[in-house]
Amino acid sequence: MPVGLLYSIGFIIALVLAIAMTPLVKKFAFKVGAIDKPNHRKVHTRIMPRLGGLAIYIAFVGAFFLLSPFIPDGLLRPQDSNMINALLVGGTMIIILGAFDDRFELSAKVKLLGQIAAACVVVFVFDVKIDLLNIPFGETMQPIAGWISIPLTILWIVGVTNAINLIDGLDGLAAGVSGIAIATIVVMASLMGFQPVILLSTLLLGGIVGFLVFNFHPAKIFMGDSGSLFLGFSLATLSMLGFKQVTIVSFVTPLLIIGVPLFDTFFAIVRRWVNKKPIFAPDKGHLHHRLRDLGFSHRRTVLIIWGIAAIFGALAIVQSAVVQSSAANWITFAVICMLMFFLQIGAEVTGIVDKTRRPLINFLSRMRLRLKLDAESRSK
């Protein structure tokens, strides 16, 4: 069977499984009491079932085992099994943690410990670590000392896992952003010929798209922490290929793949620090909250953020494609500068950090006024 056809069939299997399983998971969520009640911080106004992540997980794992007998010999190397098993075992731990949280609302400390435990399984049991780093204006790939790679990998997995969890505030938002990130990884892995990541990402993408049928506004079910934590963990594990596997990806690329949740988390930390609030205190200052406050509808807000995620994904693909060129370092530097500029502009326009402080916009306005006055004086 051609490899392309194999992956297409896997995507369809995961898609169909997600569509079939989500209504069953919805009934199960109501039966066990895994529900989300409205409050002052939430957008929905009625009781909603959670546990939607369970449908994505079942679709992903089910499609993998259904497809496994048809994977041709030689497509996956023996060492590739480590990455596959790391995602399957660690992902199972995370989905169990998230499911218990959807039902019993676990404390932040318990969830953090569970995430660290899953990350430790990835690192210590399956030996999947960030051990190479491409640094602009340096050698092609810089080795990372063993003792540093361990905490760096754990921090990456836990950080990305929580970043997806934090943006899960509107119907279809986290699932869509995760789907775009996974699609980006599929494209990049295809360009690199990295078969295990293509396989896993394609199946996961099928599960996400199938779930979105029921999760896009107006949602019939929420993914809950079971979904956001599982997708975050999966993204963290799969995006590590940008650090680990090949020399054509710089350190910027994995950050771009999941740019929306990472930068939303960064701005949340800055916002709470500026306002002298606890870092982990929930608030209504995230990007989706601010866009709603600016008057955008529920659907339009989600579509805008999907668009931003798609731009990040396109930049990641371009970055990975050009990073071996002679101008790679300067291209990386230009991408970083451009991102910093537009992120600051976006933060000031939306008020994601502070609704009143707009230093860069005010500076640009003053410069524009000065140039206008200079032009008028010269014309006289």
Whether residue 36 is annotated as binding a ligand: the answer is no
Three-class HEC string of the chain: CCHHHHHHHHHHHHHHHHHHHHHHHHHHHHHHCCEECCCCCCCCCCCEECCHHHHHHHHHHHHHHHHHHHCCCCCCCCCHHHHHHHHHHHHHHHHHHHHHHHHHCCCHHHHHHHHHHHHHHHHHHCCCCCCEECCCCCCCCEECCHHHHHHHHHHHHHHHHHHHHHCCCCCCHHHHHHHHHHHHHHHHHHHHCCHHHHHHHHHHHHHHHHHHHHHCCCCCCCCHHHHHHHHHHHHHHHHCHHHHCCCCCCCHHHHHHCHHHHHHHHHHHHHHHHCCCCCCCCCCCCHHHHHHHCCCCHHHHHHHHHHHHHHHHHHHHHHHHHCCCCCHHHHHHHHHHHHHHHHHHHHHHHCCCCCCCCHHHHHHHHHHHHHHHHHHHHHC
Whether residue 354 is annotated as binding a ligand: the answer is no
Which residues does the annotation place in the binding site?
165, 225
Which residues does the annotation place in the binding site for Mg(2+)?
165, 225
